[in-house]
Amino acid sequence: MDFDQRFFRSLKAQGLDVAAPLPFRGGRSNRVWRCGDRVVKLYLRHRDNPLFANDPAREVAALAALSGTGMVPSLLGSGRFEGHNWLIYGHITGAPWQQDSGHVAQLLGRLHDQPEFSGLPRGVNGSAALEAQVEVILNRCTTDPDRVAQLQQLRPIGQVPALSQLALIHGDPVPGNLLAHDGTLTLIDWQCPQMGDPSEDLALFLSPAMQVLYRGAVLSATEVEAFLAAYPDPRVVGRYLSLKPWFHWRMAGYCLWRCTDGNPLDQQGYELELAAMDQSSIPNTA
In the listed set 95, 112, 129, which residue is the last one of a domain according to the structure? 95
For 166-193, the pLDDT digits (tens) are 999 999 999 999 999 999 999 999 999 9
Per-residue model confidence (pLDDT) at position 105: 98
Query: Do residues 128 and 78 both lie within one domain?
Result: no
> DSSP code of 130?
H
Whether residue 286 is contained in a domain is answered as no
Same domain (yes/no): 132, 82:
no
By residue count, the chain amounts to: 286
Same domain, 39 and 26: yes
pLDDT band at 259 (very low <50, low <70, confident <90, very high): very high
10 domain residue, yes or no: no
58-103, pLDDT tens digit by residue?
999 999 999 999 999 999 999 999 999 999 999 999 999 999 999 9
Q: Are residues 170 and 53 in the same domain?
A: no
- Separation of alpha carbons 129 and 197, rounded Å: 11
Tell me, yes or no, whether 2 lies in a domain. Answer: no
* CATH assignment at residue 188: 3.90.1200.10
Other beta carbons less than 10 A from residue 90's beta carbon: 14
One domain for residues 243 and 103 = yes
Residues 23 and 157 in one domain: no
Among 72, 95, 118, residue at a domain's last position:
95
Co-location of 57 and 124 in the same domain: no
**What are all long-range contacts of 29-32, with beta carbons under 8 Å and residues at least 24 apart?**
29/54, 29/191, 30/54, 30/191
Handedness of CA 123, 108, 48, 139 (dihedral sign): negative
The pTM of this model reads 0.95
> Does residue 228 sit within a domain?
yes
34/125 same-domain check: no
The single-letter DSSP state of residue 122 is: B
Q: Can you give the pLDDT at residue 284?
A: 45
Q: What is the pLDDT of residue 25?
A: 75
Burial class (CB in 10 A: 0-12, 13-18, 19+), 244: buried
Residues 179/106, Cβ–Cβ less than 8 Å: no
Residue 201's CB is within 10 A of a number of other CB atoms, namely: 31
Q: What is the DSSP code (8-state) at residue 204? A: H
- On the 0-12 / 13-18 / 19+ scale of CB atoms within 10 A, 261 is exposed
pLDDT in tens, 99-158: 999 999 999 999 999 999 999 999 999 999 999 999 999 999 999 999 999 999 999 999
CATH number at residue 41: 3.30.200.20
Judge if 151 and 22 occupy the same domain: no
Examine the domain organization and report whether 88 and 102 are in the same domain.
no
- Same structural domain, 125 and 181: yes
One domain for residues 27 and 129: no
* Domain enclosing residue 32, as ranges: 15-95
